Structure 1
Amino acid sequence: MSAESLHLHGIEKIKTDFSYLLKLFKEMLESIGEKDLADGLPFEPSNRQLQADEKLAQAIGICFELLNLAEENAAAVFRRKSETQLGIESTRGSWGETLQQWKANKVDERLIALALQKINVTPVLTAHPTESKRLTVLDIHRELYLLLVKRENPNWSTAEQSVIKSEILSLMERWWRTGEIYLEKPRLEDERSNLMHYFLNVFPNAVRLSDQRLLDAWTSMGFSQNLLEWPEQFPAIQFGSWVGGDRDGHPFVTPEFTADTLRLHRESSLNLIKAELFNLAAKLSFSSYRNQLPQAFMEEIEATAQRLGSKGQQALDRNPSEPLRQFVNLLLVRLENTLSSPPEKNEKVYFRTSGELSSELRKLRNVLIALGATRVAKQWLFPIERMVQCFGFHLAKLDIRQNSAYHEKAISQILKASGNGDSDYANWDEDKRLTFINQELQSNRPFLVVGTSCGQEADNVLGYLREVKSYMDLYRADGIGSIIVSMTRSLSDLLVVHLLLREVGLQHARLPIVPLLETIDDLEAGPEIISAYLSHPQIQKQINKIDHFTQEIMLGYSDSNKDGGILTSRWTIYKAEERLTEAANKFGVKLCFFHGRGGSISRGGGKIHRFLDSMPAGSMSGQMKMTVQGETIANQFANRLTATYNLEMLLAGTARQTMISADNTPKDKLYGIMDNLVGSARKTYRELLDHPNFLEFYGKATPIDVLEESKIGSRPARRTGQRSLEDLRSIPWVFSWNQARFGKD
């Protein structure tokens, strides 16, 4: 079957599945007394005409969601058939296509293997207010998708198919009676619970399947098996979160909520690993009578059991004559100690870090290999080694984000409380700020006596940074992501964070301080800002001390679009990546770009592999972070196969782009033409926004008033509550224009 035939078959499948779901939906409506509504749905010919009302709007909305489910299932089926009939390389952006391209270009497989080990990507889940569906409804979507897949099994009997149909009807009725959208704003706890579902129930399986996809493609290309066998040879993937750490204009993210989130992440990750270790122990029923194990390994089991006391002896007694199970049982005891209590003086009875557990699992792997049980190690041990590598003891890294203007208020309050006569930091010019900061950075002393209250902003900033320190004192920095400074506009916006960290005793913690370049002007000034930052003595010390120092830079898609329009935004970001990379190269520093993209095109959205392929050549270091926001979380990761596909696109696309050198790109770039187009577009765009009557027009031409009142996120639509264009967040701005309906005479 040709690619075109497969495509047509996919379209036909969408029609068939949607027709089936629509038929059942109408049957459900009729069964609950809504026959007129069922007959009036505008998806099939009907003689009836209904007046628009809330019920009809809800019914039409559900029909579109059913169509989305049909399309998602058809896409998964299409990819399967395409790879079966056209080869594993037929899926655009996949590992198969990527490895095939490298092989065709005669790239040595050993260079490819080395490149894969340098890849490190981090999808960061956020709770930006872009998801209107209730969490309960999202769960119903997942269940319905699974039933849609389940009914495709040709071996079901008529009775079994009838049961599946009944389950679908029941789900649809639950959906109808539940309601589609939030009637009250979701709490932070609700948003966190939603993300925890993905971290615990989706991503572990998706990583496993994505790894298998890479391995299948590797084998299909005929590459050497020993170059891609164990977790350390696979691309690194970690996960991040903003829920509990993103406080830019979000008054409800308190220091206490940050601390609670960090604890929840840690406990959940340890319990996840614990469950996997139990499963592993069940598989390793190797008898000491039939397997000759190394004497050193047997002695270590005995020594560990003695250190663990009675619990250690119980671990041995549980599986006599099965030393591999005993070894895992002892790991479980140490993990229980890690989970149940803070670190103790005797470090051998618990794990300080996930790296220590990884070392123990590596010992077990080596024993299995020595026994000739490599197949068993790959089947049962590899998944848990990979899990520990990806999730650690922290599950997801929590980024801490705050606005530069908020930091200015905080430092002003701190200076005033400390008795500094000139405390109006927010109104100092840049030279005065830098002189002050540079002088202060020579000292390790804080401004304040512990416990001093300074004001709302200062108390909040210092409060959550103290919680970060408390966590790091116990568990180190693995669970902490980056300190992100929204609206970074100058060098002082970054350096002042070092003073705030000093105030809570984190001046030597080496936490990544990350500029977020959001407006067009800030993106254009970014290379100058980052050059000044990397050349600063404070950062030079870190560069000289840390091997392979990497500087993270976040790029804002929504705000730059709001500021300059879509074309200006995307072109400015493209050039910023090139110029930022050139600036960092002068210091021998690699950059990790953090792309703050959303779901719509105006927010940097679109297919992941196409997005990655659009990066400037030479700008990808192998490390990358990317936000996954609002409704795109469910769209990309709600179902196992879709989640696996999107992780594969992210990993393979990053690897593919990393292998492209800036030296291999044509030099006759048509930048002049693009600059002229962007200049004209931005001028016209700003004439509209800067018109004195624009706000009145905007309020009437778009549903911004409805969006501001909608219950689609815990965070306010405006940063400070002012009725101004500058204060309006970029996301409701984008959404309001997407819904605009007006014409020009």
Structure 2
Amino acid sequence: MLGHLLGEVLREQEGQALFDQEERIRLLSIRRRRGPHEGRAQAAAELAEALATLPAEQVEPIIRAFTVYFRLVNLAEQHHRIRRARAHATDAEPQRGSLEATFLALRRAGVSAQRAREAAQSLEVTLTVTAHPTEASRRTVLAKLFRLAEYLEQRDRCALTPVEQERALAAAREEITALWQTDEIRHERPSVGDEVKNVAWYIEEILWDLLPDVSDQLERAFAHAYNEPLGALPNPVRIHSWVGGDMDGNPRVTPEVLEDAILAYRVRGLRLLVRAAARLGDALSQSSRHVTPPPSLLASLDEDARRLPDVAATWAPRTEGEPWRRKLRFVQARLEATLALGEARRAFLRRRMDGHGSESPAATPTGNEAAYSAPEELTKDLALVADTLVAAGCARSGAEEVRALLARVRVFGFSIAELEARAPAEDARAAARTLSSSTTVEVTSGAARLLGALDAIARAQREGGERACRTLILSMTQGPDDVLAALACARAVGLGIKGTAGAHIDIVPLFESHDALNASADIVRALLDHPEYREHVKARGAQEVMIGYSDSSKEVGLLAAAAALRRTQEALPEIAREAGIALRIFHGRGESVARGGGPAQQAILALPPGAVAGRYKATEQGEALDHKYARPQLALRTLELVLGGALLHTLDVQPRPGDAQHARYAAAFDEMAEGGRRAYRALVWEDPRFERFFATATPLDAITRLNIGSRPSKRASGGMESLRAIPWVFSWTQNRAILPAWYGVGSGLASFGKKPGGVAQLREMAASWPFFSALLSSVEMVLAKSEISIFARYAELAPADVRDAIAPRILEEHALTRRWIKRILDVSKLLDGNPTLKRSIALRNPYVDPLSYLQIELLRSERAGADVRDRELLLTLNGIAAGMRNTG
């Protein structure tokens, strides 16, 4: 239906000739894949010819037609997922992965109600949203897609009259027309502020209203499984953000930008709270003539009137005899005062950033007796309102709405997200040297930026509480001295004064490289043995350690990186237990398999025992937000999967191999990982021709040149070693090889499988070891998505000598990996065991192919010296990414 509407829009807006051209290209692409086998080569040749000779004025509209189509396809698939979830709601058996299925699995595994209750009540899940340089949809586009999704839901839920159906269809068509007429391309590189607005959309429009439902879902699922109430439950989900605080390789994130991001999240959160308090004030109309207000409420109103006489004078006549309404007006007024301070502070900061103010930060607007000093003051007021409503017999006439707002405040505080800061470890070392030296030491730009950022964080905590920003992540941590240096810097600005009362920030080492992962256990042990640092961690309550899935994979390939990550997560919980310190592992996952992506619950259950222990934290990258959180039902399903996985893992009820069996499996995997590492390194790092092939057989030059994200594609000047993992993976997704997610896997599997009994053991591991099963499943998916014949066309862009040396090795490893994956999984075709995903890929790929052909032509033309056509190139990048998904 959506595709039909798009066809109508194309004819109306671009004319019949353009529509006919698009249809010809589409049908040729389908014939190339699904037509009679003997005619596919002819269809491929005709498709290539049609696109190579496309009139210049038709190139952009054709690219946009397929790109908008993928927008609509993604919307339709999301809606289908919602339909499936609703259908399962009436089934006897709950949907796989749901919270109800989770608690039923716990009960069937013999977990008592009390043990399950304790696990649920202590569970902590933190999702940290990050910007993504391959996905930066404009907020206006997100809003249009949101309205289209609402139309689809209305169409399913409501029995519309013929006139209503006609109007609704016309409204959807208008939205698609507006989407076609809207420029998705930014004319400038998106600023950090643009990225803040993008992630804010998902929180404001989806998660803000949704999160109170999470506790309700937990309570219902528990009650259904155990036939008894769960009891008081704090919301287990927290939303954090790196957007605005990630200084790793992004010179645009200055201390002022970081502080502005904190204020932006706070101002947006306070605006939502003001509106919510106003709505509650309108709703709580209980009269003291009919309901007796408890003394505690009346006493609090007297205190409010004493503190805020102007507010009391304004609202007293309007709320006479309506004590709860009057209380909410005081709450609203205090929130408005808090918001006014935040807006004034941000306006002041913006003037300074624009060069229109020279005042020091100490001169910023402060002080307002009406304002809340911290979220805890607001939660106290809301808890009083909820409790007094219940005490007065109003449990079903307003108390639940108050508790829902209270739940939001407990999750979000005053901000829609808690900002986290990230900085290179070398900056912490340089900054600590300037603080400790008795002589004048040159202050590096990184050191100055880090100290300025910490000072801004300290100021934000004084103004809005610790939850404004209380995490500093040290990228590329190499040793314990990096963390100790960061702690010294934090203490210098008042964030970590010696002693419990002054510990206001978590210092989080990030282990990214293969060597760093292998050294992580020794580094963390040394830190927890350090008396001063140990005191700091005890004051904070837990040691957080972040592990990166990207750089190690880029260095040594998927198998060796997975082995190092597994060993790290086996060692760290044991070290923390020995030290008597709680541990929280932070998973720096991307969406692509090469960067730790995969089905959320399956990935959690594949973690080593003890790696969760009631605390799970992971990044949610920019592109993931669209297909995981674009609709409330999708977001709730995503959170269910994560929470369910964390509960199952914490209570350790999923099938696992025994200790001896695990040791045998781990030794086998490490052996094949070493074989995979050698094959991967031999191609990617040891053959001097590979870098030239990579630069010419992918659109890397376009990716690094175009205005896709605020962050540069490289950490520093240099070659492939300085290239970030996201553009590395994104480049290989664009040329359809998706090489980082599988190269070396076939060699590793073959090296072990060819041993006596090797195939039998690999099949046994796939059936019995969640870690290995999840990895094979991810590689299978990537191989099914890859299109090696399209990659071969991209390879033609490389110089002949380089192409002849590198491309055959890639083709050979791809074929080897496919053979071994199918052999171990005992299937004749990839994804035979996942027909839904198989069908989705089969439906999408024919529509991605024309964009790939056009991108090749644009790259070939540009490299031959023709005019640069950046706009068309960027449109192909966006279109292929939308069609492929899992790009970074």
- TM superposition score normalised by structure 2: 0.73
Over the matched positions of the two proteins, sequence identity in percent amounts to 30
2 CA distance for matches of 1:208 and 1:415?
47
Q: Is the 8 A contact 2:527 2:533 kept in 1?
A: yes
Aligned to 2:374: 353
Q: 2:651 aligns with which of 655, 659, 663?
A: 659
Aligned to 1:506: 495
Aligned to 2:83: 77
Structure 1 residues 112 and 335 mapped into 2: Cα distance closer, same or farther (>3 Å)? same
Q: Is the 8 A contact 2:613 2:650 kept in 1?
A: yes
Structure 1 residues 124 and 543 mapped into 2: Cα distance closer, same or farther (>3 Å)? closer
2 CA distance for matches of 1:153 and 1:360?
38
1:54 aligns with 2:74: no
Deviation at 1:683, TM superposition (A): 1.4
Aligned to 2:12: 31
Deviation at 1:528, TM superposition (A): 0.6
2 CA distance for matches of 1:733 and 1:664?
34
**What SS does structure 2 have at the residue aligned with 1:239?**
strand
Q: 1:542 aligns with which of 518, 533, 536?
A: 536
Q: How many correspondences in the alignment?
A: 684
1 CA distance for matches of 2:136 and 2:297?
55
Deviation at 1:544, TM superposition (A): 4.7
**What SS does structure 2 have at the residue aligned with 1:624?**
strand
Q: Is the 8 A contact 2:210 2:632 kept in 1?
A: yes
Structure 1 residues 717 and 664 mapped into 2: Cα distance closer, same or farther (>3 Å)? closer
Equivalent residue runs for 1:158-197 within 5 Å: 158-197=162-201
Equivalent residue runs for 1:211-290 within 5 Å: 211-225=215-229, 227-228=230-231, 230=232, 233-290=233-290
Q: 1:101 aligns with which of 98, 105, 108?
A: 105
Runs of 4+ in 1 over 6 A off after TM superposition: 45-49, 342-347, 661-664
Structure 1 residues 69 and 475 mapped into 2: Cα distance closer, same or farther (>3 Å)? closer
1:292 aligns with 2:292: yes
**What SS does structure 1 have at the residue aligned with 2:156?**
coil
Offset from partner CA, 1:594-618 (integer Å, 9 cap, x none):
1111111111112211121111122
1 CA distance for matches of 2:432 and 2:303?
53
**What SS does structure 2 have at the residue aligned with 1:351?**
coil
1:744 aligns with 2:739: no
2 CA distance for matches of 1:486 and 1:367?
48
Structure 1 residues 345 and 636 mapped into 2: Cα distance closer, same or farther (>3 Å)? closer
Deviation at 1:340, TM superposition (A): 3.1
Structure 1 residues 407 and 307 mapped into 2: Cα distance closer, same or farther (>3 Å)? closer
1 CA distance for matches of 2:655 and 2:507?
30
Aligned to 1:561: 553
Deviation at 1:118, TM superposition (A): 1.0
Aligned to 1:650: 642
Aligned to 2:873: none
Offset from partner CA, 1:35-79 (integer Å, 9 cap, x none):
233234355589997435332222122223322211111111011
Deviation at 1:671, TM superposition (A): 1.0
Aligned to 1:340: 340
Structure 1 residues 216 and 296 mapped into 2: Cα distance closer, same or farther (>3 Å)? closer
Aligned to 1:22: 3
2 CA distance for matches of 1:474 and 1:516?
28
Aligned to 1:443: none
Q: Is the 8 A contact 1:125 1:195 kept in 2?
A: yes
Q: Is the 8 A contact 1:527 1:580 kept in 2?
A: yes
Deviation at 1:485, TM superposition (A): 0.5
2 CA distance for matches of 1:733 and 1:198?
27
Q: 1:709 aligns with which of 694, 705, 710?
A: 705
Offset from partner CA, 1:452-481 (integer Å, 9 cap, x none):
x83422322222121112222223311113
Aligned to 1:735: 730
Aligned to 1:674: 669
Deviation at 1:105, TM superposition (A): 2.6
Q: Is the 8 A contact 1:316 1:326 kept in 2?
A: yes
Deviation at 1:685, TM superposition (A): 1.0
**What SS does structure 1 have at the residue aligned with 2:90?**
helix
Q: Is the 8 A contact 1:115 1:659 kept in 2?
A: yes
Segment drifting more, 595-604 vs 454-463: 454-463
- TM superposition score normalised by structure 1: 0.87
Q: 2:391 aligns with which of 350, 370, 393?
A: 370
**What SS does structure 1 have at the residue aligned with 2:714?**
coil
The aligned amino acid for 2:400 is Q
Q: Is the 8 A contact 2:560 2:676 kept in 1?
A: yes
Deviation at 1:703, TM superposition (A): 2.2
1 CA distance for matches of 2:209 and 2:199?
15
Aligned to 1:390: 411
Aligned to 2:317: 317
The aligned amino acid for 1:477 is E
2 CA distance for matches of 1:518 and 1:100?
37
Q: Is the 8 A contact 1:29 1:38 kept in 2?
A: yes
Aligned to 1:724: 719
Q: 1:115 aligns with which of 115, 119, 133?
A: 119
Structure 1 residues 690 and 378 mapped into 2: Cα distance closer, same or farther (>3 Å)? farther
1 CA distance for matches of 2:221 and 2:146?
29
Segment drifting more, 61-70 vs 726-735: 61-70
Structure 1 residues 378 and 619 mapped into 2: Cα distance closer, same or farther (>3 Å)? farther
2 CA distance for matches of 1:137 and 1:293?
48
2 CA distance for matches of 1:315 and 1:135?
38
Q: Is the 8 A contact 1:395 1:479 kept in 2?
A: no
Aligned to 1:528: 522
Q: 2:694 aligns with which of 698, 718, 726?
A: 698
Equivalent residue runs for 1:478-627 within 5 Å: 478-508=467-497, 509-510=502-503, 511-545=505-539, 549-627=541-619
Structure 1 residues 360 and 139 mapped into 2: Cα distance closer, same or farther (>3 Å)? closer
Q: Is the 8 A contact 1:637 1:646 kept in 2?
A: yes
Deviation at 1:728, TM superposition (A): 0.6
**What SS does structure 1 have at the residue aligned with 2:143?**
helix
**What SS does structure 2 have at the residue aligned with 1:238?**
strand
**What SS does structure 1 have at the residue aligned with 2:721?**
coil
Structure 1 residues 66 and 350 mapped into 2: Cα distance closer, same or farther (>3 Å)? closer
Deviation at 1:189, TM superposition (A): 1.5
Equivalent residue runs for 1:131-150 within 5 Å: 131=135, 133-150=137-154
Segment drifting more, 163-172 vs 656-665: 656-665
Q: Is the 8 A contact 1:133 1:182 kept in 2?
A: no
Q: Is the 8 A contact 2:538 2:581 kept in 1?
A: no
Structure 1 residues 368 and 138 mapped into 2: Cα distance closer, same or farther (>3 Å)? closer
Structure 1 residues 68 and 310 mapped into 2: Cα distance closer, same or farther (>3 Å)? closer
Structure 1 residues 662 and 74 mapped into 2: Cα distance closer, same or farther (>3 Å)? closer
Q: Is the 8 A contact 1:188 1:714 kept in 2?
A: yes
Q: Is the 8 A contact 1:410 1:461 kept in 2?
A: yes
Structure 1: runs of 5 or more not aligned: 1-19, 424-452
Aligned to 2:71: 65
